[in-house]
Every structure is written in C-alpha cells, then in structure tokens.
Amino acid sequence: MRPLQPVRGTQDLLPEAARRHRRVIDAARAAAELYGFVEIATPIFEFTEVFARPIGEHTDIVAKEMYTFADRSGEEVTLRPENTAGVVRAVISSGLVQSAPLKLFYSGPMFRYERPQKGRFRQFHQIGVELIGVAQPQADIEVIALGSRILNALGVGERVHLELNTLGDPVSRAAYREALVSYFSAHVAELSEDSRRRLERNPLRIFDSKEETDQRVARDAPAFADYLNPESREFFDRVRVGLDRLSVNYRLNPRLVRGLDYYTHTAFEFVTTDLGAQGTVMGGGRYDGLVEMMGGPALPGVGWAAGIERLAMLIEEPLPPPSPVALVPIGEACEAHALKLAEDLRGRGFTIDLGYSGNLARRLRRANRINAFAAILLGDDELARGAVTLRNLGSGEQSEVPLAELPARLQSLADGQIVF
Ligand code: ATP
Ligand code: MG
C-alpha cells in the first residue's frame, strides 16, 4: 500500500506547532476581550452564495481559490475561504443585528485552493475581529489598535509595520473607477489576462495583482487621493489623527487595496519583511455596504483577519506545558492503586503521567524524556505502610512519604522548595 499522505497544501499541527497556534489565539482572544469583543464560531462550510457575491466574482478567491462542491443532496457548498462573510451571514440569520453594535472575535481554519509555499497553504488558520454597526472612525481606530496590541503582545510588534490607505466612499470610488478605466484601457496590451477581465468589472482589483506586468502598469496609475470627496477625506483624516493619538505608527500606501470587493474607506495591512513574499500577517478594513448586500439592514462594519501560520512563524517558542509528575507502579499489584492515585492527584491539579509498562529503569527513562520534575514510586511494601517513595528527578534524592502528606510534598517540590 502507498503510504498515506496529507492532502497537498494541508499540514498537521504537531504538538510544537499546535502550541504556537494556541499562543497566537490565546493572546488575540485576551486582547480582544479588553476591547469588549466576544467570541463567535460559524460553520466551516456555507452555501456557496454566502461567499461568492460578497467576496466578488473577480477576486482571486472566488475566481480560482474556493473549495466548492455539491454535497450528497446536490446542495452547492463551499469551505470558507475567509470568515467575514460567514460572520455577517450568522448575525443576520440569528437576528443578532438587532443588538448592534457587535464586537466579534473568531479563530479557525480557512480553505483556499492556492499554490502551496512558505506561509501559504490550502488549509490555513485565521484569527479575526468584526465590529459591526459603528459608522464612526473610532471603530476603525480601535480595530487597528487592537491588531497592533495583539502583535505587541506576541512580541512581533517590532518586526511588522502598518500600511494604511483609504478606498473612499462609494461616490469617490465611482469617480476613481472611471479614471482607472481610462488609464488602464490605454495600457491594456501590457495587462495580464486576469487584469483585462478586472478592467471591465473592478479595475481597483488590478492593484492587488501579483503579476509583475500588472504591477508595472499600476505604478503610474492615477492616485485615489485625487478623487476622494471631502467626506471621504475627512473620514480618513480622523482615522489618522486617532492612530497618531494612540501612537500607532503607519505608512500611507496609496496602492493598498484589499483582496475582497466589499471594502470602503479604511484599508490596512500589517506587513513584515521577515517572511519573504508572504509578508502580510494581518489585513482588514471597513466594509460599510456588506451587511445590506447580504440581506441585512444597512449596518456598517470594520474588521481584520490575520494568518495564524504566519504569526506562529514570527513568535518566540512558547513555554512548554507544565512539567509533569511521573507515577511509577512497581509490580502488578500496584497498577490499580496507581490509576486511582493518579486520578486523586490530578483532582488536586497535578499533571500526572502514568508509566504504563516496562521495568523501573525504563519507566524512569520515560519520566526523564517527558521532563518530569518528580517521580512517585509505588511499591507493595510502601503501599502496605500507606506510603510511597518520592524522588526528586532534579537532584536524584528520594525519601518515603506518607500518602496523606504526598500532595503537600509534591507542591513544595513543584514550587522549587527543598523537601529532602
Ligand atoms: P495574500 O496577499 O498573501 O494572498 P490575502 O489578501 O489573500 O493575502 P486575506 O484574505 O486578507 O489575505 O487574509 C488575511 C490574512 O490571512 C493574510 O494576511 C495572511 O496572513 C493569511 N492568509 C491568507 N491566505 C493564506 C494562505 N493561503 N495560507 C496562509 N495564510 C493565509
Ligand atoms: Mg490571497
């Protein structure tokens, strides 16, 4: 039989990687809670229409990256490529929109049929936040400040920088669109096939192209700043003043457009140069038309998503789990007692690793391998006296301890106090 393989672009989170992921998620959740965000989880698959229209037919995601299939009853479903559309669908279908403003945090797997490479997978994981129902720039500012706080909490603040842009309101955007269409039409021969298609449907998308030829043409395209109406300009100014006041540094990047169609006003990315081409660790922006487009009330929104794999690569190795106590029964008769004693001690909060088989030497080797700080040796004779042998695996010292005193002795050993 051919050895079983994981599907291309997927990867196992082995314990060390899983620990890194958990560190990212825990730090993000804790920071999000400081801003009053609460957690939400939506299904990892939805009817395809939940993603297709909101994300936009001409985005890379919808055009070529979605995992779409018919289920056994012929329903067309898609593994979620991102979670904003799913969260918006959830708050609409549950009626939660009534309680806006909503501050929601999520984490979980996303799926895109991409060419796998460093920092780019077909199943990857994101953390993200959505602040739904606030039209004021305070929401943009807080959402960005939260992103920045998480990156700092993870110790990667110095390795990323914030890029900021505005996509204006729909009126500005329409004016800019016209300018872009006429500019890119004059250079149509130099554009990639994808971008020629984008030219008709959504010329802004051309800025997001990863093709060298498109990027060359895009460099000299008209700037959005020249087409912003006063309202859009004022909104952007207020976001910038707020970020300045919070000392959240940013660079303006007039070429920054986000991958999805539904963004308005603020667009931003936290980028690092430490991960090669896959340098964007967090990206987001304002999406004022999305909730209404998806059949809900006209509620504005702003949020971001961050790639956990990319963050996990940047952080320091997290602390290992707590060092356990090895419980080593010596002889058949003690096995049952050992099981019971292990449960009692776990009930008191100790991490207990029960040696399942092998002689004393073998079980002690395992105790060392799992980095146990102590071993409890359980033999018939001691047990008859209501005692065990407690060995300090750091010093090698050991002594007989009455069972009644065991928890206290273990605790002082765990606290690093000398008990022998
Ligand atoms: P990119 O330009 O790298 O393709 P994107 O614009 O498609 O990113 P978003 O849809 O904004 O990405 O997703 C937010 C974040 O999720 C990205 O900044 C990145 O950190 C992460 N991400 C996106 N796609 C992948 C992937 N295929 N594998 C791993 N992480 C990803
Ligand atoms: Mg992408």
Q: What is the DSSP code string of 122-175?
A: SEEEEEEEEEES--SHHHHHHHHHHHHHHHHHTT-GGGEEEEEEE---HHHHHH
The lowest-confidence range among 81-95, 142-156, 189-203 is 189-203
Identify the nearest ligand to the CA of 124 by its number: 1
> Kindly report the CA angle at 348 between 343 and 353, in degrees rounded to 5?
45
pLDDT of residue 236 exceeding 80, the answer is yes
Q: Is the CB of 120 under 6 A from ligand 1?
A: yes
Q: What is the pTM of this model?
A: 0.91
Pairing of strands 123-132, 102-111: antiparallel
Whether residue 362 has pLDDT greater than 90: no
Task: Identify the residue whose C-alpha is closest to ligand 1 atom 6.
Answer: 259
Task: With cut-offs at 50, 70 and 90, classify the pLDDT of residue 417.
Answer: low
The pLDDT score that the predictor gives to residue 58 is: 78
**Of all atoms in ligand 1, which is nearest to the CA of residue 126?**
16
Q: Give the Cβ contact number of residue 27 at 10 Å.
A: 21
| Residue 261 predicted with pLDDT over 80 | no
Q: Which is nearest to 148 in space by CA: 246, 82, 245, 239?
A: 246
Phi, psi of 265 (to 5 degrees): 50, -125
Looking at ligand 1, which residue's alpha carbon is closest to its atom 13?
305
Atom 2, ligand 1: residue with shortest CA distance = 280
302: alpha, beta or left? (left if phi > 0; alpha if psi -120 to 50) = beta
Share of the chain above pLDDT 70, in %: 99
> Average of pLDDT values for 271-297?
93
Measured distance CA(62)–CA(201) in Å, rounded: 14
Average pLDDT for residues 309-315, to the nearest whole number? 96
**Top-confidence residue, 333 or 163:** 163
pLDDT of residue 295: 96
| Most informative mutation of 126, 271, 314 for ligand 1 (most atoms within 8 A of CB) | 126
pLDDT of residue 418: 54
The better pLDDT of the pair 254, 347 is held by 347
Residue 56: pLDDT band with limits 50, 70, 90: confident
Confidence at 278, pLDDT banded by 50, 70, 90: confident
**Distance separating alpha carbons of residues 103 and 36, to the nearest angstrom:** 7
The token pair at 5 is 């393989």
pLDDT greater than 70 at residue 44: yes
Ligand nearest to the CA of 313: 1
Q: What average pLDDT does the chain have?
A: 93
Q: How would residue 97 be classed by pLDDT, with cut points 50, 70 and 90?
A: very high
Q: How confident is the model at residue 259 (pLDDT cuts 50, 70, 90)?
A: low
Backbone angles phi, psi at 391, to 5 degrees: -115, 130
Which ligand is in closest contact with the Cα of 276?
1
- Would you say residue 130 has pLDDT above 60? yes
Over pLDDT 90: what percentage of the chain? 78
More confident: 37 or 219: 37
As a whole number, mean pLDDT of residues 154-166 equals: 96
Whose CA is closest to atom 19 on ligand 1? 307
pLDDT digits over 104-128, tens only? 999 999 999 999 999 999 999 999 9
Cα dist from 139 to 49, 135, 142, 172, whole Å: 28, 7, 5, 21
The pLDDT value recorded for residue 67 is 98
- By the 10 Å C-beta count (0-12 exposed, 13-18 middle, 19+ buried), 67 is classed as middle
Residue 353 CB–ligand 1 contact under 6 Å: no
Give 343's contacts (C-beta < 8 A, 6+ positions apart).
Answer: none
Q: Are 249 and 161 in contact (CB under 8 A)?
A: yes
CA–CA gap between residue 184 and residue 217 (Å, rounded): 8
In three-state secondary structure terms, 293 is helix
Q: What's the pLDDT score for residue 416?
A: 78
